Amino acid sequence: MAILDILHFPDPRLRQRAAEVDQVDDQLRQLVDDMFETMYQAPGIGLAATQVDVHKRVIVVDISKDQDEPRVFINPEILAGDGVEEMDEGCLSVPGVYERVQRAEHIRLRALNSAGEVFELEADGLLAVCVQHEIDHLDGKLFVDYLSQLKRQRIRKKLEKQRRLGIDDTAAAEKHAEPVI
């Protein structure tokens, strides 16, 4: 197992569209294990392969308090979505920033599991929001794209300042948090 480096906004590699996985093999399962280790250590409730500079359609999610409900989605597809949910979102690639975003409240999705089998799932609440946020990463989209250009610019400056000060993870960023108005 390994802790992988997480790319930070505005790194252009976060804008790359991830490719479909054509074979679920031991190498891919190793990537999934490393992504879980990286997500749990951050800590976060989701992680997309794009964020660790691997451009394959793989996401991991665990919204449980005890980090004991790991979920893997390979080639995830949203089949349907309805309702509107507004939630404060964070992102391991935008450390220390939380902003309100609107998404579908309820989704139905299809994906492959780590054995390469197709499954379908209905999700709502935090799970639905987190899965939509992660699928956006696979498409090169970040939650800051839903904000105004002015807010995005302020976030970019805040992250540049954090980098200059050597603050490069979520925990450290939260200690030095200043609001983005």
Residues 74-103 contacting ligand K1U, CB under 6 A = 89-93
Q: Where does this chain touch Zn ion (CB under 5 A) — which range of 26-34, 91-99, 104-112, 165-173?
A: 91-99
| φ, ψ at 121 (rounded to 5°) | -145, 145
Closest among 82, 88, 170, 74 to 126, alpha carbons compared: 88
Single out the residue of 45, 91, 111, 147 in contact with Zn ion (rule: CB under 5 A). Answer: 91
Contact 130, 63 (CB under 8 A): yes
Residues 149-178 contacting ligand K1U, CB under 6 A = none
Contact 53, 5 (CB under 8 A): yes
In total, the chain counts a number of residues equal to 181
For residue 38, state whether it binds ligand K1U (rule: CB under 6 A). no
Look up residue 44 and give its DSSP letter: -
- Identify what 43 binds: ligand K1U, Zn ion, none; CB under 5 to 8 Å per kind: ligand K1U
Binding site for Zn ion (CB under 5 A): 91
Binding site for ligand K1U (CB under 6 A): 43-48, 89-93, 129-130, 133-134
